[in-house]
């Protein structure tokens, strides 16, 4: 017997060159008790497929675990990106036609929030404000989707997903890095929530919009909260959180690792009162964090083939070797092999997934000036 109400649906997000609709499955669980609305999607970048395994495990758990509120799960949310191959790999990070990153076309409009706050009077209860705000924003996205001149494919896809996500109090976007260790993007105001996941590396991001789903969610709510606080001079909390989880490397899946990350998400959901009776608790572990401006990219200066010596998650000291580059054109002399050293103390979080690099390649992304999150 199902412990929650369950429905499955499909969302049409595109039409391919054969004139066929491309749709995305939606799985929706509703508890019998009230509680937060949760929205979880995976694989907006088509080669980052491990989130689908996580959602598979979450579905299995939610079949037997009574929830409060509602959980919507949208696996494989980008059927275009998932299915573009070039060679053996998946060209999933951007639209192969125009280079548009599939995770940069969500909508945020600061002016819209400002105009909305002008319509809020001092007496309106917060829940009603939130509900009206959702309606206004979704109305605005509807209008954009109906524009006479149309919209680009990535933006259409993003806005259709954002319509669903904006109903939620909790939004989790499941990603992977190239060759990567687990890390999570957390808005600075929700820093305390970082400790509710079993993820050792935390990036704290400011109220700045760069196009991604987590930002498109929390920038709206964070801005609303700030304006309401100023207006009412009180410590209002809109209670909406959004995260991007990066759960290891792209192009691979593991059912076992997926169980770990599903449990990690259930720890967070349990703490947020999404489960009728919570049995998931975050692990005691060392968690280190950086502010976004200290999450740095090391680019190559030379082309060549790279032996990645530092593994994602390693603690590396300034001057230690990160990588060794072979120059096949100079194999007989002392320019044959060159070591790239850490420019400061750092933790490499991810590295480029191919040995072959041109100059100007994102070799490593690194935590610098990182600090420990206390429990």
Which C-beta is closer to a copy of itself: that of 123 or that of 149? 149
Distance CA 64, CA 57 (A): 12
Select 32 or 359, whichever has its Cβ closest to a copy of itself.
359
CB of 107 to a copy of itself, least distance (A): 15
State in angstroms the smallest separation of the CB of 130 from a copy of itself: 30
* Identity of the residue, 85 or 232, whose beta carbon is nearer to a copy of itself in the bound complex: 85
Work out how close the CB of 248 gets to a copy of itself at its nearest, in angstroms, rounded to a whole number. Answer: 12
Cβ-based nearer residue to a copy of itself, 222 or 295: 295
Of 136 and 326, CB closest to a copy of itself? 326
Q: What values do phi and psi take at 171, rounded to 5?
A: -120, 125
The one-character DSSP state at 148 is T
CB of 124 to a copy of itself, least distance (A): 36
**Is the Cβ–Cβ distance between 189 and 221 less than 8 Å?**
no
Minimum CB separation of residue 340 from a copy of itself in Å reads: 10
Q: What residues form DSSP beta bridges with 14?
A: 22
CA angle 11, 16, 17 (to 5 degrees): 165
Least distance in angstroms from the C-beta of 8 to a copy of itself: 6
Contact 73, 58 (CB under 8 A): yes
Q: Is the CB of 59 or the CB of 236 nearer to a copy of itself?
A: 59
Rounded to a whole number of angstroms, the minimum distance from the CB of residue 231 to a copy of itself is 31
* Strands of the chain, DSSP E: 5-15, 21-30, 33-42, 68-74, 85-86, 89-90, 170-177, 179-180, 183-187, 201-205, 241-249, 287-291, 295-299, 304-308, 321-326, 337-341, 347-351, 356-357, 362-367, 371-373
Supply the minimum distance, in Å, between the C-beta of residue 175 and a copy of itself.
Answer: 15
Spatial distance between the Cα atoms of 183 and 316, rounded to a whole number of angstroms: 17
Q: Are 238 and 33 in contact (CB under 8 A)?
A: no
| Rounded CA separation 249/247 (Å) | 7
First to last CA, the chain: 39
Residue-wise burial string across 268-295, b where 16 or more C-beta atoms lie within 10 A, e elsewhere: bbbbbebbbeeebebeeeebebbeeebb
66 vs 353 by CB, closer to a copy of itself: 353
Pick 283 or 324: Cβ nearer a copy of itself: 324
Whether residue 208 contacts residue 187, with contact meaning beta carbons closer than 8 Å, is answered with: no
Rounded to whole angstroms, the Cα distance separating 286 from 301 reads: 34
Dihedral pair phi/psi, residue 84, rounded to 5°: -100, 110
Q: 1 or 86, CB closer to a copy of itself?
A: 86
Q: How far is the CB of 341 from a copy of itself (least distance, A)?
A: 11
């Amino acid at each position: 017997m199902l412990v929650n109400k369950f429905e499955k649906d499909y969302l049409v997000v595109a039409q391919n060159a054969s004139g066929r609709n491309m749709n995305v499955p939606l799985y929706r669980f509703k508890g019998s008790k009230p509680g937060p609305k949760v929205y979880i999607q995976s694989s907006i970048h088509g080669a980052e497929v491990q989130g689908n395994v996580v959602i598979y495990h979450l579905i299995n758990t939610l079949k037997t675990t009574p929830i409060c509120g509602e959980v919507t799960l949208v696996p494989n949310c980008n059927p275009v990106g998932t299915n573009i191959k070039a060679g053996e790999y998946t060209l999933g990070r951007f639209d192969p036609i125009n280079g548009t990153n599939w995770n940069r076309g969500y909508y945020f409009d600061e002016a819209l929030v400002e105009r909305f706050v002008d319509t809020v009077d001092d007496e309106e209860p917060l829940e009603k404000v939130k509900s009206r705000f959702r309606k206004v924003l979704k109305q605005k996205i509807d209008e954009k989707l109906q524009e006479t001149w149309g919209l680009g494919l990535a933006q259409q896809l993003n806005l259709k997903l954002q319509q669903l996500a904006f109903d939620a109090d909790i939004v989790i976007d499941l990603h992977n890095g190239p060759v990567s260790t687990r890390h999570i993007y957390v808005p600075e105001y929700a820093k305390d929530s970082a400790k509710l996941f079993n993820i050792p590396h935390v990036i704290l991001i400011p109220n700045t919009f760069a196009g991604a789903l987590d930002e498109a969610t929390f920038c709206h709510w964070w801005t609303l909260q700030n304006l309401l606080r100023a207006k009412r001079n009180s410590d209002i909390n809109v209670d909406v959180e959004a995260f991007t989880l990066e759960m290891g490397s792209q192009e691979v899946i593991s059912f076992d690792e997926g169980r770990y990350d599903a449990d990690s998400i259930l720890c967070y959901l349990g703490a947020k009162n999404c489960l009728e009776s919570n049995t998931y608790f975050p692990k005691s572990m060392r968690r280190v964090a950086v502010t976004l401006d200290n999450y740095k990219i090391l680019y190559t200066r030379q082309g060549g083939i790279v032996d990645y010596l530092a593994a994602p998650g390693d603690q590396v000291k300034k001057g230690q070797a990160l990588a060794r580059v072979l120059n096949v054109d100079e194999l007989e002399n002392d320019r044959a092999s060159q070591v790239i050293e850490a420019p400061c103390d750092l933790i490499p979080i991810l590295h480029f997934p191919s040995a072959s690099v041109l100059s100007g390649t994102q070799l490593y992304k690194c935590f610098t000036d990182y600090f420990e999150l206390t429990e």
